[in-house]
Amino acid sequence: GLTAKLNAAFKKLRGKGRLSESDIKEAMREIRLALLEADVSYKVVKDFVKSVSERCSGQDVMESLTPAQTIVKIVNEELIRLMGSENQRISISPKPPTVVMLVGLQGAGKTTNGAKLAGLFKKQGKRPLLVACDIYRPAAIKQLEVVGGQLGIPVFQMGQENPVKIAKAAIRHAQQHGNDMVFLDTAGRLHVDEALMNELKSIKAEVQPNEILLVVDAMTGQDAVNAAQSFNEWLDIDGVMLTKLDGDARGGAALSVKAVTGKPIKFIGTGEKLDMIEPFHPERMASRILGMGDVLTLIEKAEQALDQKKAAELEQKMRANKFTLADFYDQLLQIRKMGPMQDLLGMIPGMGSMKNVQVDESALGRVEAIILSMTPYERENPACLNSSRKRRIALGCGQKVEDVNRLLKQFDQMQQLMKQMNGKGKKRKLPGKMG
Ligand code: GDP
Ligand code: MG
């Protein structure tokens, strides 16, 4: 799926240090293909990739210490921008009832999700009324009554009466019975046709709903987007409810709707059950598409904690094999600043579920204590640490000489590793720097 494809593109970048123009080009090509395969509209993909590439080829990305992460961050920000920068609510009319008209193709999920939405408002203390304006299928009225019954929400119906009359009568009924919200469940068709649009237009003209919500089935991808475009042209909708996002939805609809219609997604349906509805949050959808759990939060934390200039200096030292215990200690402090290791691990996708991963925070503390017991000279010149110095250090930090030896051995191994990497002339990661 989209998530896997995008991650494959990012993974290739992650293995590299600085990125070249052609690395970025290749990544953009893969992002473009991934989006097209996910059924995002061609024009949307084109514009999206254009703005991402423009931002990515900037000097600051190429020269940043963590170019792959910077690119993921840019893609994330552009995804959010594409879907609308914030959650959009339904505007409540100062003069009740607030009338919400649900429109959409047959099977999109109007009846179910209209009821879900009414249920959501009921939970917030509103007194909604569901209205059966789909008069063409007798089963449709029954269906609305069933879901209304399950949610404890009254349903207004007048059988096969003209839908415009039903809607007007329902609003009067709501005013008389203290229902402050009215949800009109309208008819759909398999395809957009003029008869349906004219019916919906006359309901709109007569009752002037506060909100026309278009319900679209996310699983139908490009078709959903085309439907959204037609409905918007006919009815000038206010927002979109994207349903069936629990299925194998390819994500394309979520990415295209706003760009194509200019109207925001306001709610998402995430299952058949009547409480499976959520306000749409662009930033959550973006991280869901990127499949990254809270990895972005993690990146932000790392950025805050790592002093970029210091990191650059360290890299120099490593290259020159001048990395000392003092530098090692600095790195330890940087890692510390990011917060408890347990929290950090939980943010890595896939790791969150590994409840029994134990990070030995106290081991880090012991290492810290040993280094702190050394003189600055000793930290810069670990070779001078003879047995009497080691004894003094061990006493100073309340640990054993073996502990001091173990740390020195680990540090030695780390230096060997760096030498090897330097020998190969390859880029490597700083300790504590995530890549
Ligand atoms: P309408 O013709 O637009 O009124 O569509 P319905 O409300 O009757 O829904 C059509 C079908 O889609 C029903 O079987 C619903 O249970 C199902 N459905 C609606 N929303 C969702 C959803 O968010 N997830 C899943 N899995 N099924 C849904
Ligand atoms: Mg229906």
Residue to substitute in 102, 105, 111, 112 for testing ligand 1 pocket (most ligand atoms within 8 angstroms of CB): 112
Residue having the nearest C-alpha atom to atom 16 of ligand 1? 272
The response to whether 245 counts as a known ligand-binding position is yes
Band of pLDDT at residue 422, cut at 50, 70 and 90: low
Q: Is 36 annotated as a binding residue?
A: no
Average the pLDDT over each of 286-290, 332-336, 344-348, 398-402 and give the range with the smallest value.
344-348
Instruction: Locate the ligand 1 atom nearest the alpha carbon of residue 185 and give its number.
Output: 4
Supply the pLDDT for residue 332: 73
Q: Which residue has the higher pLDDT, 9 or 169?
A: 169
pLDDT, tens only, 147-156: 999 999 999 9
Atom of ligand 1 nearest to the CA of 243: 23
Q: Which ligand 1 atom is at minimum distance from the Cα of 106?
A: 2
- Span 375-420, pLDDT tens digits: 989 998 888 999 999 999 999 999 999 999 999 988 887 777 777 6
Q: What is the Å distance from ligand 2's center to 235 Cα?
A: 19
The CATH label, of 2.60.40.10, 3.40.50.300, 3.90.1150.10, 3.30.499.10, for the domain at 98-290 is: 3.40.50.300
Q: Which residues pair with 102 in a beta bridge?
A: 185, 213
The CATH number of domain 2-83, selected from 1.20.120.140, 2.40.50.40, 3.50.50.60, 3.40.50.20: 1.20.120.140
Q: How confident is the model at residue 302 (pLDDT cuts 50, 70, 90)?
A: low
Q: Residue ranges of the alpha helices (H) in 353-400?
A: 361-372, 376-380, 387-397
pLDDT of residue 384: 94
Determine the distance separating the centroid of ligand 2 and the alpha carbon of 145, expressed in angstroms: 11
Banded pLDDT at 301 (limits 50, 70, 90)? low
**2 annotated among ligand-binding-site residues:** no
Q: How far is the CA of 92 from the centre of ligand 2 (A)?
A: 24
What are the Cα distances from residue 189, in Å, to 103, 104, 106, 283? 10, 8, 5, 33
Flag whether pLDDT at 212 surpasses 60.
Answer: yes
Q: Is 425 labeled as ligand-binding?
A: no
What integer pLDDT is reported at residue 64 of this predicted model? 67
**Spatial CA neighbour of 115 closest among 204, 200, 202, 215:** 215
pLDDT class for 431, splitting at 50, 70, 90?
Answer: very low
Q: Within a 13 Å sphere around the CA of 276, how many CA atoms are in the beta-carbon half? A: 13
Query: Which amino acid type is present at position 291?
Result: G
Ligand 1 pocket (Cβ < 6 Å) reads 104, 106-113, 188, 215, 243-244, 246-247, 269-272, 276
Cα of 108 from ligand 1 centre, angstroms: 6
Cα–Cα distance, 342 to 358 (Å, whole number): 7
Global pTM reads: 0.69
Task: Compute, in angstroms, the gap from residue 217 CA to the centroid of ligand 1.
Answer: 8
| % of the chain surpassing 90 pLDDT | 47
Q: What is the pLDDT at residue 129?
A: 98
So where are the chain's domains?
A: 2-83, 98-290, 296-423
ipTM of the modeled complex: 0.99
Exposure of 33 in the CB half-sphere (CA atoms within 13 A): 12
For the chain, the average pLDDT equals 84
Highest mean pLDDT among 5-19, 325-339, 391-405: 391-405
Pick from 320, 376, 369, 347: which is nearest to 434 by CA?
347
103 CA → ligand 2 middle, Å: 9
Using the structure block, give the residue that is written with the tokens 């409540």: 92
- Residue with the bigger pLDDT between 64 and 173: it is 173
Query: How much is the pLDDT for 179?
Result: 98
Neighbours of ion ligand 2 (CB under 5 A): 110-111, 140
**Residue 271 is labelled as binding a ligand:** no
Query: How many A from CA of 264 to the centre of ligand 2?
Result: 22
Residue 6: pLDDT band with limits 50, 70, 90: confident
| Backbone Cα Rg of the chain | 30
293 labelled as ligand-binding?
Answer: no
Model pLDDT for residues 224-267, shown as the tens digit of each residue: 889 999 999 999 999 999 999 886 666 788 889 999 999 999 99
Question: Closest Cα to atom 6, ligand 1: which residue?
Answer: 109
On the question of a common fold for 98-290 and 296-423, the answer reads no
- Residue whose structure tokens are 């600095």: 330
Crossing angle between the packed helical segments 252-261 and 222-235, to the nearest 10 degrees: 30
Protein residue closest via CA to atom 9 of ligand 1: 109
What's the 220 CA to ligand 1 centre distance in angstroms?
13
Most confidently modeled range among 70-74, 82-86, 152-156, 303-307: 152-156
- pLDDT reading at 163 higher than 80: yes
Give domain 296-423's CATH number out of 3.40.50.1100, 1.20.120.640, 1.10.260.30, 3.30.2000.10.
Answer: 1.10.260.30
Question: What integer is the mean pLDDT of 179-207?
Answer: 95
Instruction: Kindly state the average pLDDT of the residues 89-100.
Output: 94
SS3 assignment, position 294 = coil
Atom 12 of ligand 1 has which residue's CA nearest to it?
Answer: 109
Tell which wins on pLDDT, 137 or 297. Answer: 137
Q: What are phi and psi of 65, to 5 degrees?
A: -75, -20
Tell me which of 103 and 425 has the higher pLDDT.
103
The model's confidence at residue 433, banded by pLDDT at 50, 70 and 90, is: very low
Where does the pLDDT of residue 170 fall: very low under 50, low under 70, confident under 90, or very high at 90 and above?
very high
pLDDT in tens, 379-389: 988 889 999 99
Which listed ligand is nearest to 107 at the C-alpha?
A: 1
Nearest CA to ligand 1 atom 5: 109
